[in-house]
Structure 1
Amino acid sequence: METIGPARPRNATGPLRTLLTARETPRPPARRRFMMFVLPLGLLALIGLGLAADRYLADNRELPAIVIGILAAGSVLPMLVSYRLPVWAWRIAYPMMFLGVINAGRTEPWPWNSVQILGFLFVLARLAVTQSSGVTGWATAFSLVPVFLFAPDANAWGAAVLLVAIAGVGDIVYRRGRTSELLAAKLAEEEELTELERARRAVLEERTRIAREMHDVVAHHMSMIAVRAETAPYRLPGLPADAKDELAGIAVSAREALTDMRRLLGVLRSEEAEPDKAPQPTLADLGDLVETARSAGVEVTLEATDLGDGAAATVGLAAYRIVQEALANAARHAPGEPVTVEARGFPGRLELAVRNPLRRPGDRPGPATAPLAGSGHGIVGMRERATLLDGTLTAGPAGAEFVVHAVLPLAQEPA
């Protein structure tokens, strides 16, 4: 069944179902209102119970005592229930309007006793101030039925006007309360948005501060490296050709690092800024990566077979970064040792293997090699790249070699 909630029904049958069949969630009791509402109402209910029973006895309806007790309880019980379940209170009070006319004389101005009349008006008012206009409208329409069926014509129209007036005033109170709730909710939402905006502003300020410090410190030193490498042949006459070429390569690497840093700083300074677009490396760039490693003094052999051009861009980028990181690790931990890079394509997968001899304690240090740029994540970063593509990566000693082995699906994009 439906649950009665604060939302307004969208059609005529919705309020009707809410009034007649929906499961009503009890309204939470307000502690401050308990002493002001429940206790006085309970006292009035006890008094009303006695008055109702006395009224039925005074009317000489010749009813059994148990029936009189049920009718008297039914006259006051809905008022108590209305505190937390106003719809259920109306559901109890409404049938009592038909039962309350049992053995009523046709000459009586009202077939109901005064306690029942006041109790029903109270229940209708309580429903009107807590439920939507549609529910109140249906309840009022149903309430007019016993009035015109059992009340004398002279009093029926007056009673109908009173019912409609009470329901109308209650609905006005309900609408004002709903408007206040909506305004309060909107103000709370605006305050929350303000808090989020302040948090975002704080994050942006912190990112700007980090970008400023990176620019002032790191970028300055990188610029000095590039400038000194470029001007060294002019400041130091007589340098060999190999040294000039090496300095030129250092200058190029420094300039490329500065370009990458400017992209990063642009993202840090503004959350709306986007990094400069640049072509990402693919499998076809493995040869250039190996040549860069060779120029840095690493003895590298590349064995690439059946790579084709069917690999997704994400697979090519991941393969390039894995090989780049593996070469950087080999140059760092086993300088001077030969490195073999194997890249082989198979149906549905690409296998990569980067091998270099393990250096044992006591081995003579190899010749110095220039440090190679990696991703900065080491084996963890390589494994994450493979996992994102539903691939696998292992890295560790295998006999006398250290082997990085990766298997990447060729056609699968990351989730």
Structure 2
Amino acid sequence: MAKVRDRRVRRRLRLSRRARRRLIDVGLVLLSVVFVTTGAAFIDANYRSALPPIVLGIWLGAPIAFTRHRPLLTWATLLMAMAVYPFAVSSVMLQDVPGVIDWEIAPLSWPPTVLIGYSLVQYSVAVGHRRLVAVATWLCALGVGTLSVHLKEFGAGTPDIPLLVTLGLVALVAGDNVRGRRETRARLQAEEQRSEVLRTKRALLEERARIARELHDIVAHHMSVIAVQASTAAYRVPGLRPEAETEFDSIADTARASMTELRRLLAVLRSEDEEGALSPQPGLGDIDELVRSTRSAGTEVALKRVDVPERTSDAVSLTAYRILQEALSNVIRHAPRATARVELRGESDALVLDIVNDIANDIANDIANDVPDGSPEVLTSGARHGILGMRERAELVGGQLRAAGPEGGGFRVTAVLPLHASASSSARAGEPEPGGPGGTADR
């Protein structure tokens, strides 16, 4: 709530500042028009028409309102009006009278509001453009004043050149100073953002290193103990039946395979490369071995391949392997007596992975708790970690995963993956899940 209030306050402040600036612009325009039109009225002569002074006043004053948005265009328009003003007042606004016109009483200087407006425009040019551009505009204004001096004999008087030069120079220096401070502030903000990014990356690397140490010290140690105990069981326990020895050998093989994947995970976590060292990684070519290890754990698996493409992207291959690994792990954990059917099917632009297990209704209901309402809908964030991890992996490569609840006493997971994924998707798909090296987090 506090953040919302702060945003509202900042928005109101921005609106109020913008409104004040617009009011200042409009007020300056009106003042300029009033000064120009009334300035000519002090001349002891009659106007030919009331329209010319009004038009000239608008020409001199109106562009000032756009100085913040189009400073150079405003400057050019105002400079032309200032160049025309002395001649227009002398030859258009004043009625010709017999004899020689006394130019000393004509309004030969620019109105004060025009000089103020020029200063504001010169300031805006200096703020919004490089110093070279600002200096060039100031020199051009100086040239216009000097030209008026040389044209005095043609009827135009000498404008207030010193005042024009002084006001323009002050505005130029002030605007350049403001622009320099803004650029310095922008550079400091950019440096702060870069520093924040570096601090975030450093914190991420430190966290990855900490996780790697924990995995190495705890998980790797226990997996090593399991592998050693399973490998030496036949020598330490007399009278083991051949089936038990085979089972212990399978446990040892699984532990060693898990340690291999754990080493890959540690290499990823300890790498300072943001994407990590992801190679080598398992893929479609390792599915047969995955199915074999699942069968050795006591779960029957029927594998079927239909038009599987020979080549797919590494990300899709890895994702398909991880999804199948997680699905079979769920079967082993929650339905050890079930039979799993795996179908790997290639379509025109997608790879379809379909895993179905035939289990009793009570076990199916246990697994269905991972699916909202037990319905075959695309999972949402309410699903638990195991199936949610599969869904996230599929989405990382641009695919989709559907998990169906009990249907005739079974459970189905279907993943549709595009045949090719982008390089960034490939990198992200190789990142490990929080549950462990094999991506088989407990649900």
Q: TM-score with structure 1 length normalisation?
A: 0.65
Looking at structure 1, the residues matched to 32 and 303 of structure 2 have their Cα atoms a distance apart, in angstroms, of: 95
For the residue of structure 1 that corresponds to 2:43, the secondary structure is helix
- The question of 1:101 aligning with 2:90 is answered yes
Deviation at 1:292, TM superposition (A): 1.0
Q: Give ranges in structure 1 of 5+ residues lacking alignment.
A: 1-26, 364-375
Distance 1:259 1:357, change over 3 A: closer
Alignment of 1:55-94 (within 5 A): 55-57=42-44, 61-63=45-47, 87=75, 93-94=82-83
Deviation at 1:210, TM superposition (A): 3.6
Alignment RMSD: 4.9
Among candidates 388, 396, 402, match of residue 411 of structure 2: 402
Question: Which is further off, 317-326 or 344-353?
Answer: 344-353
Looking at structure 2, the residues matched to 389 and 177 of structure 1 have their Cα atoms a distance apart, in angstroms, of: 49
Looking at structure 1, the residues matched to 57 and 348 of structure 2 have their Cα atoms a distance apart, in angstroms, of: 84
Among candidates 112, 118, 121, match of residue 127 of structure 1: 121
Looking at structure 2, the residues matched to 176 and 229 of structure 1 have their Cα atoms a distance apart, in angstroms, of: 77
Alignment of 1:26-175 (within 5 A): 52=39, 55-57=42-44, 61-63=45-47, 87=75, 93-102=82-91, 103=94, 108=102, 110=104, 112-113=106-107, 116=110, 119-131=113-125, 132-133=133-134, 134-142=136-144, 144-149=146-151, 151-152=152-153, 167-168=168-169, 170-175=171-176
Looking at structure 1, the residues matched to 325 and 66 of structure 2 have their Cα atoms a distance apart, in angstroms, of: 75
Alignment of 1:148-227 (within 5 A): 148-149=150-151, 151-152=152-153, 167-168=168-169, 170-227=171-228
1:309 aligns with: 310
- Give the number of the structure whose alpha-carbon radius of gyration is greater: 1
Looking at structure 2, the residues matched to 218 and 362 of structure 1 have their Cα atoms a distance apart, in angstroms, of: 29
Looking at structure 2, the residues matched to 51 and 284 of structure 1 have their Cα atoms a distance apart, in angstroms, of: 91
Aligned residues: 368
- One-letter code aligned to 2:89: G
Distance 1:112 1:145, change over 3 A: farther
Render the CA deviation track for 1:186-218: whole Å, top value 9, x for unaligned: 223223333443344444444444444444433
Looking at structure 2, the residues matched to 406 and 51 of structure 1 have their Cα atoms a distance apart, in angstroms, of: 82
For the residue of structure 1 that corresponds to 2:121, the secondary structure is helix
- Contact residue 49 and residue 73 of structure 1 kept, 8 A: yes
Q: Give ranges in structure 2 of 5+ residues lacking alignment.
A: 1-16, 126-132, 365-383, 426-443
Looking at structure 1, the residues matched to 159 and 208 of structure 2 have their Cα atoms a distance apart, in angstroms, of: 73
- One-letter code aligned to 1:246: E
- Contact residue 405 and residue 412 of structure 2 kept, 8 A: yes
Distance 1:47 1:153, change over 3 A: closer
Distance 1:258 1:110, change over 3 A: farther
Looking at structure 1, the residues matched to 335 and 244 of structure 2 have their Cα atoms a distance apart, in angstroms, of: 24
- One-letter code aligned to 1:130: S
Looking at structure 2, the residues matched to 202 and 351 of structure 1 have their Cα atoms a distance apart, in angstroms, of: 39
